[in-house]
Amino acid sequence: MSLARRCSRTACARPAVATLTYVYADMTAVLGPLATYAEPHAYDLCAFHSERLSAPRGWEVLRLSLDQSLPGPTEDDLLALADAVREAARPLPPVAAPAQETGREVARRGHLRVLTSD
């Protein structure tokens, strides 16, 4: 079994290059680059089917750039990610134990207490 995602169209075995999602509230079909992971409410399409895509009457098709030559993460992005991982891995400082009460309760108003100092 291949790990590459295939076109969602019936009987099409071509590799997927784009992801189609629907925005029902706006009556819009959005065709964009292949999503990072497969989602049950999105359709992966091959180049052939993504070019021939049409929407129902009254709907708009929004085609986002399918440019696969987009640059990957920059060195600054990778350094920021490494710093965030280091920060998250630092142990938390020990929590100080709550101080012992030294007074005697004299009165109470709801959740508040009045204490005398001894």
Coil, strand or helix at 51: helix
Within its chain, how far is the Cα of 65 from the centroid?
20
- For residues 18 and 50, the answer to whether their CB atoms sit within 8 Å is yes
Reading the chain (118 residues) residue by residue, the pLDDT tens digits are 456 899 999 999 999 999 999 999 999 999 999 988 888 899 999 999 999 999 989 999 999 886 655 566 778 888 888 888 888 888 888 877 666 666 777 788 888 888 777 6
Instruction: Specify the amino acid at residue 53.
Output: L
The beta strand positions in 65-103, using DSSP E, are none
State the Cα angle at 74 between 72 and 79, rounded to 5°. Answer: 130
Supply 11's token pair: 């009987």
Is the pTM higher than 0.75? The answer reads: no
